Amino acid sequence: MIVDNALYRNGVRVPLEADIADLRSVRARCDEPDSFVWVGLLDPSADELTAVADVFDLHPLAVEDAVNAHQRPKLEKYDDSLFLVLKTLWYVDEEDAVETGEINIFVGSDFVVTVRHGQGSELHGSRIYLESKKELLVHGPTAVVYAVCDRVVDAYESVAASLEEDVDEVEASVFAPERTDDSPRIYVLKRELAEVRRAVLPLRDPIRRASGGTVAGMSPNAAPYFRDVGDHLSRVAETVDNLDSLLSSAFEAQQARISVQQNEDMRKISAGVGLVAAPTLVGAIYGMNFDHMPELHWAFGYPFALCLMALSSLAVFVFFKKSGWL
């Protein structure tokens, strides 16, 4: 559906009496220099997006990508317009899950059409921010592209910060005195980091091109703003790489710790077997019932055998205790 449909002139929103769904009426008023239209759509149907495409003469291949969604971040030029794809991210802490959405942006000389899929990174805040910054909004459609990219990348930083907290929890758990099994959570977090990486890494090239002021159809004067977005994006990429390395190290440390714990368990089991083996040996020898065995008819033979069993177990216990097996 159409969320908003606004006309901007010289960095100021122009009041309109037309219905937001009346795209042609609003577009017809965009007949002066330094004016443009910004149409925002949320989860539109194919018919709705086709109607928008007819008004703004959008390329059918770009429209198809916007309808299908699930595109990788990219910046492509079609005739006189640009098509930018962004992945949106938000974090569900209870599930250690990174949820994804998508924003498609059609950019022309006098229009911007944003198509949002999913619940992440709503754009109303970006619109309000731009409308309060006339000096930024005078850059036209390029300013909208910057504001959307800036909001999306800020959400990336928030997700990265949440993942950092979870990775810190995993590290603390791995090296805690009590035994824990953190392998499933490590796997989940590495999978979510891969999801973040799929959103962040492909976006670096479009932002780099925009920050160089070399993208036809975008104002070169907005390059410094995109360089700021690029810096934030690089910081997120570095954070993701560092977290992935930390999780790999935590997994290796846990496996090593499990091996050590298993060795300790085996030593304790062996020591326990040794404690039982010594008296068992004495009992087995004196349970063979041969006629000519010593002490069989001795009055103190039974107490002597019991004492021998106890002393042998005590000797084994002292030995293992000194060696650290118990």
Which of 22-26, 244-248, 268-272 shows the highest mean pLDDT?
244-248
| Under 8 Å between Cβ of 147 and 126 | yes
User: Mean pLDDT throughout 300-317?
Assistant: 76
Give the full edge-to-edge strand order of the sheet including 74-78. Answer: 12-14, 2-9, 35-42, 111-117, 97-107, 81-92, 74-78
Q: What's the pLDDT at 295?
A: 67
- Model confidence at 97: pLDDT above 90: no
Map residue 77 onto helix, strand or coil.
strand
Predicted confidence at residue 137, as pLDDT, reads 86
pLDDT category, 105, cuts 50, 70, 90? Answer: very high
pLDDT at 325 over 70: no
- The residues, ordered by sequence, that sit 6+ positions from 249 with a Cβ below 8 Å of its Cβ are none
Nearest Cα to Cα of residue 206 among 76, 44, 32, 36: 76
What's the mean pLDDT in 143-166? 92
Q: What pLDDT does residue 290 have?
A: 64
What is the mean pLDDT of the segment spanning 263-285?
A: 72
Task: Give the burial string for 129-168 (b: 16+ CB within 10 Å, else e).
Answer: ebeeeeebbbbbbbbbbbbbbbbbbebbeebbebbeebbe
Per the listing, tokens 């703003």 go with 225
Confidence of residue 17 (pLDDT cuts 50, 70, 90): confident
The percent of residues in the chain predicted with pLDDT above 90, rounded, is 31
Instruction: Tell me which of 81-95, 96-110, 260-274 is least confident.
Output: 260-274
Q: What is the pLDDT of residue 203?
A: 93
Whole-number percent of the chain with pLDDT over 70:
91
pLDDT at site 146? 92
Cα distances from 96 to residues 23, 87, 185, 229, 320, in angstroms, run: 41, 19, 8, 26, 45
Domains of the chain (ranges; CATH) run 2-256 (3.30.460.20), 259-323 (1.20.58.340)
Of 172-181, 219-228, 295-304, highest mean pLDDT: 219-228
Question: What ranges in the chain are assigned the alpha helix state H?
Answer: 23-28, 46-56, 60-68, 124-131, 134-137, 141-174, 183-200, 204-211, 223-285, 301-323
> Residue ranges of the alpha helices (H) in 175-222?
183-200, 204-211
Task: Retrieve residue 80's tokens.
Answer: 């006189």
Q: State pTM to two decimals.
A: 0.79
The pLDDT of residue 70 is 81
- Cα separation of 280 and 170, whole Å? 46
Identify the residue with better confidence: 206 or 318: 206
Q: What pLDDT shows up at residue 158? A: 92
Model confidence at 120, pLDDT cuts 50, 70, 90, reads low
